[in-house]
Amino acid sequence: MDIDALLTRLQTSGCEFNRNGSWYAGAEARAHLLKKLEHLEGKDMVSTAEQFIERGASTSSMSGKAYLVRCPRKAPVESAVWLKAELQQVRAARAASSPR
């Protein structure tokens, strides 16, 4: 659930995703990261959003270069930093809206 929420936020954020020197729109980033997620799940390597960020959504498995996220009027940041911040927001919003 958290991973899907993260990928949806990336897709709808208006931010761009950089992998191996090229910038991609959110929808393309989501599609790429879903493929990586499926690969990792197939090897039973991901059970949490944190594991997904660390093992699949932070660096290129081909080049080893860090992925970047560039949002309008902001400097690019490593995807791990951006995704972890978004994950905190997703969880905070869920906690705030859940019945007590």
Going by pLDDT thresholds of 50, 70 and 90, the confidence category of residue 1 is confident
pLDDT higher than 70, residue 100: no
> pTM for the complete prediction?
0.92
- pLDDT value, residue 17: 97
Q: For the segment 14-31, what is each residue's pLDDT rounded down to a tens digit?
A: 999 999 999 999 999 999
DSSP the chain: -HHHHHHHHHHHSS-EEEETTEEE-HHHHHHHHHHHHHHHHHTT--SSHHHHHHHTSSB-TTT-PBPEEE-TTS--EEHHHHHHHHHHHHHHHHHHHS--
pLDDT tens readout for residues 54-84: 999 999 999 999 999 999 999 999 999 999 9
